[in-house]
Amino acid sequence: MTSSSGGWTLPSLGEMPDEPKWTQWPAGAPGYRVLPYDWDPRDFNPNTTTDPANPLEGGRFHPFVSATGVRVATLYVASSLTAAIAETLLHDLSLTPTAHPYSLSMSKVRSHRFAILTPKTDLRLIDLAGAGADRVRIPNELISWCLREHYPISRRAAHLLHTKYPSAQGIRWTSRRYPPQDCTVVFGDRVGGSARALVVEAPPMRELHEPGTEGYPTLEAVMVEAGIVPYP
């Protein structure tokens, strides 16, 4: 594999161990999604070969294709609403010096809601937290915590992990924006369809954009902690 960052190169399949460090998304355990207003909570990211047409518009571990050349559908959750908000709504805060405080558009927030999902059965995940990343020869800071411009490499890492470990139903790593909370990506081709694999806790879509809505106290707490001022 030729993809590299700072002199580091992704391992070949033969250089990876036969078994990764495994973890689980246990049956009944909540996972939190902050998602566009018009999405269904169990919608996977588009997985056609033309959507997204620009690969830079995808996510950390999508889009990628399977060993047979089929685009793998993906679904992300976080272990807390705090982490889901930080990873979604605060994802692209500037890392370079900027005038403070940071600001967050509430119109952006209004275009999102959150949902709580639970798996019907234990989902088997590759653990990239801590030494689990070292075990598979894929350093956490270069994949799980890399910046958007390095997403093409982290997606190729997802392809490697998906190919090497056919029983893996997803990947778990430590949130870059809100450690030590976890993030998980689920492989759509390994869970038998989201309607059968995942349960949406009622109410299915929950608001967070203004005082009095269910998610606003968490949103407000995150903004205060990060020094973010809301604007219309």
Contact 228, 102 (CB under 8 A): yes
Residue 12 binned pLDDT confidence (cut-offs 50, 70, 90) = very high
Confidence at residue 57, expressed as pLDDT on a 0 to 100 scale: 73
The secondary structure of the chain, three-state, reads CCCEECCEECCCHHHCCCCCCEEEECCCCCEEEEEECCCCCCCCCCCCCCCCCCHHHCECCECCECCCCCECCEEEEECCHHHHHHHHCCCCCCCCCCCCCEEEEHHHHHCEEEEEEEECCCEEEEECCCHHHHHCCCCHHHHCCCCHHHHHHHHHHHHHHHHHCCCCCEEEEECCCCCCCEEEEEEHHHCCCHHHHEEECCCCCECCCCCCCCCHHHHHHHHHHHCEEEEC
Q: Which comes out higher in pLDDT, residue 72 or 195?
A: 72
The whole-angstrom separation of Cα 201 and Cα 192 is 19
As a whole number, mean pLDDT of residues 16-43 equals 95
The whole-angstrom separation of Cα 212 and Cα 119 is 29
As a whole number, mean pLDDT of residues 71-84 equals 95
Confidence at residue 47, expressed as pLDDT on a 0 to 100 scale: 60
Widest CA span in the chain: 54
Task: Say yes or no to pLDDT of 230 above 60.
Answer: yes
Residue 2 binned pLDDT confidence (cut-offs 50, 70, 90) = very low
Task: Say yes or no to pLDDT of 149 above 90.
Answer: no
Q: Among 3.90.175, 3.30.200, 2.40.360, 2.60.40, what is the CATH number of 15-231?
A: 3.90.175
Task: Say yes or no to pLDDT of 54 above 70.
Answer: no
Residue 222 binned pLDDT confidence (cut-offs 50, 70, 90) = very high
Q: Which of 198, 149, 195 is nearest to 170 (CA)?
A: 198
Task: Say yes or no to pLDDT of 229 above 70.
Answer: yes
Q: 193 — phi, psi (to 5°)?
A: 95, 130
Task: Say yes or no to pLDDT of 96 above 60.
Answer: no
Structure tokens, 137 = 């020869």
Residue 100 binned pLDDT confidence (cut-offs 50, 70, 90) = low
Residue 129 corresponds to which amino acid?
Answer: A
